[in-house]
Structure formats: structure tokens, C-alpha cells
Amino acid sequence: MKPAPFAYVRPTTLDEALSTLADGGDDAKLLAGGQSLVPALNMRVLRPAVLVDVNRIPDLDHVERRGDALVVGATARQADPRLRDHPILAAVLPHVGHTVTRNRGTVCGSVAHADAAAELPLALVAARGSAVLASVRGRREISADELFLGPYTTALAPDELLVETIWPIPAEGDAFAFEELAQRGGDYALCMAAAHVSGGELRVVVGSVTASPTILTVDPERPGDSAAEQVEPWGSIHASPAYLRQLVRVLVGRAVGRALEDAA
Amino acid sequence: MEPGLAVTAYYAAPNLLPPDGDDRIASSASHGFVADVAVVEIDRETAAVSVLDYVTVHDAGRLLNPLLAEGQVRGGLAHGAAAALFERHVYDEDGNLMTGSFLDYLVPTAPDLPTPRIGHRESPTPFLPLGAKGLGEGTTMSVPAAVANAVAAALGRDDVEPPFTPGRVWELLQA
């Protein structure tokens, strides 16, 4: 299990990283925590010509309050204690991999990787968050709702680096609940569901059973059933489509129940 | 140089005999015993199986090193629980292995395993000088059986087959 040969670049400024990325185009890949990328390289699922390591760029690992949001920089690790100030991240992060992978893996890296079964992309959508993308052409902010296009597919252009994720901080009376079923602790979920009551408005997001985090409009009288009617899970060796639909029914039902109960 | 003092001795367990006329043989001079109790909870909505309590009691004869004995019990339990709850090989219709990576072949990690309560009862075997019977990996055999019996009791049916992953248990709940 060794990766195919690649060139390794370790810029020390963001501008240098962005110009390397612009030159490399589709053949360049960004390395942050490497917890998803490196296994994919080793299994030769990915064969980038250039690996751009962003870990030595200073001031990219910020986690700071900006207005009513927590802003998480590109190289901030999932284990960063400052993330626990955000209730949605605090609820979701214990389900993200293991202590060892969280020490290295980054929040923004997981978002940019956009694994359909990863918790952080779902959490960013549930939080009504957004991402800041930088390239030599400039910066733009994109809503999480428009960021995830499919499995491992985002709205990032090949020359763009996801420099920040922006997590609006829930207000008094808001509530968030997250439910997932994974076969082992820290595993990718078979199914996951988040319910977020914000300003009296309920947002339900499901993941793992859809190509990317999917917002569902549910009937508050029968949230689980109405959610299950809207998904078409494809199934795997671990779980049949019918079982996955049952998990949507149960997990959405539980998450919505908890969130509505906790919301003032 | 003159050789030092040398002694050569032989011991044969008296109950280990050559094969009889029908080519049958008892290949162990003594047998350890193990008795397990598993307490299992099944979430009928998600089909998730949790082992709430696990007790395993061994009669390994005289314990020569209790620390190593406990290590064998815990190590065997890990393998047994893996077989009971997680690990299996899956092939598709064309014979392709579908569980060829540790993403799909579910090896449990420490927090996924039940925490056993371990007991020992020492009744030395009369057939061997040390009185030890051995207990290596006994729980590898007992855990799948105990967990399967608990699942069978919980579901009220006895045609259950490990591993009891949630996807497989859900199929059992539908039948």
C-alpha cells in the first residue's frame, strides 16, 4: 500500500499555496490533516501529480469568534478545544473518527473532502453555515447549502482552497440534536440525522443515505415517517435500502423530538 | 573439558494413549471449562445490539500465572465478540471479496467490546503434575455462543446466526 509517485510542495504563505494550486489545476491536491487523503493515496484511489501541504502556512489554524459566528481556519484540527464552544460542533465531533484521527484531521479538510458519510459536512449544513474559498482570483463565501454537490464533490473550483468554515452560533432558545448509527465507535455512519431549531424554524438534515447532506422538509406531526418517504437509500453489504430507510425514520424522529423538546 | 552433571527425564501423561483399534484418540490430557453469561439489549427500532453485561467464569485447574490467564480471557473475548457482533467475509455473486479492506471488514476496537467480569474456579486436574488444565482463548469459543443465545432469547427465535450487525438483526426482526 504505497501511493503513486507525486511531487510534494510545502508553501509557507497562502499566496504561494494558491499559485501552486492554480498552476497544478486538476492534478494538484491539497494536504491538511491527511486522514482521508493519505489512505486514498495509499490505495491509489487518488493519483495527484502534486501534493500541496498547507500545514506550514502560519495563521491558518485560527478558531475565533467573528460577530455571531465561530470561524474555523483551514488547518484547525478536529480536536481543537476551542471548537467545543460551539454546541453543534461539540455535539457532532465525538462521532468524527477517533481521538487519534481528530488530533490530525481538520474541520475544513473534512468539509472539502465531502464524504457522503462524514459528520462535519452535514453539521455545517444543519448549522446554516458557510465556507470561504480562496484562489488567485480572489475570495468568495458560499453557503453550505450550495457547497455539497455529491459524494466527494463540492462547488470548489480546482484552484480554490477552503480557507475557513463559518459556524453561526445558536441563539438563546435554539436547539440542536444529532443522531447517528454506526457499526463501530468512530466509524462512518450507516445513517445520520440532525435537527436544528433556529429562530423557531426547524431544519432537518440527513446524511450517509444520500449523495450529500440533504435538507428535508418534514411534517412536525410525523417527522420520521415524512423523512423516510423522501429518501431513496442505495444500500450496501452492511445495510439494505429498506433498513436504511427505517434508520432515517427512527433517527430523524428522535433528533426532531429532542430538538423540539429542548427548544424554548 | 569434562561434561557437567546432566539429567534426562521423560514424562508421559498416564491418560494420553496411542490411537485405539478404531483409530480414535484423546489428544488432551485435561480439559478446561468455561461458563459465560451475556446480557444483551436490542433496540427494536434501529436493530442495534448492545452487550450490557458479560460474565465469564473459567476452571483452568491451578492457575500458574493469574495475570496471563486474565490476558488470555480478555484476548479471547475480543476475538469472540468480533465474531459475534462484527466480522464476516462477504462475497458477491461473481465471487469477488466485498470485505477486502478494514473499512468493510469490521474489526472492533477496544471501546466496541463488552467489558467482562472474570471469575476463576480452581479445581486442579489429577492427570497432570501441575494441576493446570489450560484456558487459552476459551472465550473465543464461548462468546459467540453466549451472545447468540442472548440474541435468540431476546428475539424469541433460535435460528439466528452471528455476526449480529444491526443490518442483519433488522432482517431478523422483519421475518
What value of ipTM does the predicted structure carry?
Answer: 0.87
In a domain, B24, yes or no: no
In a domain, A258, yes or no: yes
Comparing alpha-carbon positions, the chain B residue that sits nearest to A240 is: B167
Contacts of A184 in chain B (CB under 8 A): 86, 106, 108-109, 112
Contacts of A98 in chain B (CB under 8 A): 109
pLDDT (0 to 100) of residue B3: 80
B111 touches chain A (CB under 8 A): yes
Distance from CA of B4 to the nearest CA of A (A): 55
Confidence of residue B175 (pLDDT cuts 50, 70, 90): confident
Based on the fold, state whether residues A205 and A160 are members of the same structural domain. no
Could you tell me the residue range of the domain that residue B140 belongs to?
A: 33-174
Interface A-B: count of C-beta contacts within 8 A = 48
In a domain, B15, yes or no: no
CATH for A104? 3.30.465.10
pLDDT digits (tens, 9 = 90+) for A125-156: 999 999 999 999 999 999 999 999 999 999 99
In a domain, B11, yes or no: no
pLDDT digits (tens, 9 = 90+) for A52-96: 999 999 999 999 999 999 999 999 999 999 999 999 999 999 999
- Of A168, A195, A213, the residue at which a domain comes to its end is A168
For chain B, the domain total comes to: 1
Mutation target to probe the B interface, by most B beta carbons within 10 A, among A45, A238, A245 is: A238
Q: Is the Cβ pair B165, A238 closer than 8 Å?
A: yes
Cell (9 digits) for A194 = 440532525
Contacts of B90 in chain A (CB under 8 A): 237
The answer, yes or no, to whether residue A192 has pLDDT greater than 80, is yes
pLDDT (0 to 100) of residue A119: 97
The answer, yes or no, to whether residue A36 has pLDDT greater than 80, is yes
Could you tell me the residue range of the domain that residue A245 belongs to?
A: 175-263
Please list the alpha-helical segments (H only) found in A30-80.
Answer: 37-42
pLDDT digits (tens, 9 = 90+) for A236-264: 999 999 999 999 999 999 999 999 999 97
The answer, yes or no, to whether residue A205 has pLDDT greater than 90, is yes
Q: Is the Cβ pair A246, B109 closer than 8 Å?
A: no
Confidence of residue A1 (pLDDT cuts 50, 70, 90): confident
Contacts of A43 in chain B (CB under 8 A): 101
C-alpha closest to that of A143 among A157, A133, A153, A158: A133
CA distances from B13 to A264, B29, B108 (A): 76, 7, 40
- Which of A184, A246, A251 is opposite residue B112, by nearest beta carbon? A184
> Which residue type is seen at A209?
V
CA distance A223 to A251: 10
For chain A, the domain total comes to: 3
CA distance A64 to A78: 14
pLDDT (0 to 100) of residue B56: 97
Q: What is the CA radius of gyration of chain B?
A: 22
C-alpha closest to that of B30 among B137, B135, B119, B121: B135
pLDDT digits (tens, 9 = 90+) for B32-63: 999 999 999 999 999 999 999 999 999 999 99
C-alpha closest to that of A123 among A160, A95, A81, A100: A95
In a domain, B128, yes or no: yes
Based on the fold, state whether residues A32 and A128 are members of the same structural domain. no
In a domain, B47, yes or no: yes
Q: Is the Cβ pair A250, B45 closer than 8 Å?
A: yes
In a domain, B27, yes or no: no
CA distance A216 to A56: 40
Mean pLDDT of A154-159: 96
Confidence of residue B2 (pLDDT cuts 50, 70, 90): confident
Report percent pLDDT > 70 for chain A.
100
In a domain, B17, yes or no: no
Confidence of residue B14 (pLDDT cuts 50, 70, 90): confident
A139 membership: H or E segment, kind and range: strand A138-143
In a domain, B12, yes or no: no
Contacts of B99 in chain A (CB under 8 A): 237
Q: Which residues pair with A168 in a beta bridge?
A: A69
Comparing alpha-carbon positions, the chain B residue that sits nearest to A192 is: B46
The verdict on whether omega for the bond into residue A48 sits within 30 degrees of 0, i.e. cis, is no
Residue carrying C-alpha cell 430523524: A252
Q: Is A192:A207 a contact under the CB 8 Å cutoff? A: yes
